[in-house]
């Protein structure tokens, strides 16, 4: 397992999945609780196809939009 995967796995261990709230073409969204604080959050698990190398353009676009919205009070910031 490389460092990127280990980091993602340890980040996910900080949360308890409560229920699936949605699913689409690119992944699933879960309601979850941050174990350390009890904060309720939404987690998105993105599907990656094994035949693709790198991060899909749709994921990069979503990250870019979330960065632009980082100061919005309705966007939860990650501490990871």
Q: Is 44 annotated as a binding residue?
A: yes
Alpha-carbon 35 to chain mean position: 16
8: tokens are 């993602």
| Helix, strand, coil percent content, the chain, rounded in steps of 5 | 30, 30, 40
With bands split at pLDDT 50, 70 and 90, how would you rate the model's confidence at 60?
confident
> pLDDT tier at 80 (50, 70, 90 boundaries)?
very low
Count of residues in the chain: 80
pLDDT of residue 5: 53
Structure tokens at 26: 């690119």
> Domains in the chain, please, with CATH?
19-80 (3.30.200.20)
């Amino acid at each position: 397992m490389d460092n990127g995967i280990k980091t993602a796995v340890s980040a996910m261990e900080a949360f308890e999945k409560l229920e699936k709230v949605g699913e689409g073409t690119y992944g699933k969204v879960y309601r979850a609780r941050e174990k350390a604080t009890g904060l309720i959050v939404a987690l998105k698990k993105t599907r990656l196809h094994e035949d693709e190398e790198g991060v899909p353009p749709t994921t990069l676009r979503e990250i870019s939009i979330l960065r632009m919205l980082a100061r919005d009070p309705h966007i939860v910031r990650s501490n990871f």
